[in-house]
Structure 1
Amino acid sequence: MKAQIVTALNALDSLLKTVPADVLEKGKSVADSYFFAGEEDVAPERLDPELKQLESIL
């Protein structure tokens, strides 16, 4: 099983080496924006007033 994982990771690494650096950077930016979007949506200072009012009731 470990050998199969190592083989898959090596294949993925080889494939990623064929992708231009600027494309990788754009992809990373998009992935980061989706990854961190959930954290930003929950921040209390970003909630609209109606949501804050509902939250205070709970």
Structure 2
Amino acid sequence: PPEGCSYRIAVVSMKKAYAGHAKRVMFGVWSFLRQFMYTKFIVVVDDDIDVRDWKEVIWA
């Protein structure tokens, strides 16, 4: 997002199925593509949050 001022933030929207699911997705994102190894922050939000709306992401 522009507010992050960097490519080091990723925002992921997902439908949580079980406890710990968001953590598994976060580690999966970090290991899936080589370009994500430089990502410092991964924000995982519920599927009803618009990841392109930074105010909504921060509120969540």
Give TM-score scaled by structure 2 length: 0.28
Larger Rg, first or second structure (1 or 2):
1
Query: Is the helix fraction higher in 1 or 2?
Result: 1
Higher relative contact order (CA 8 A, sep 6+): 2
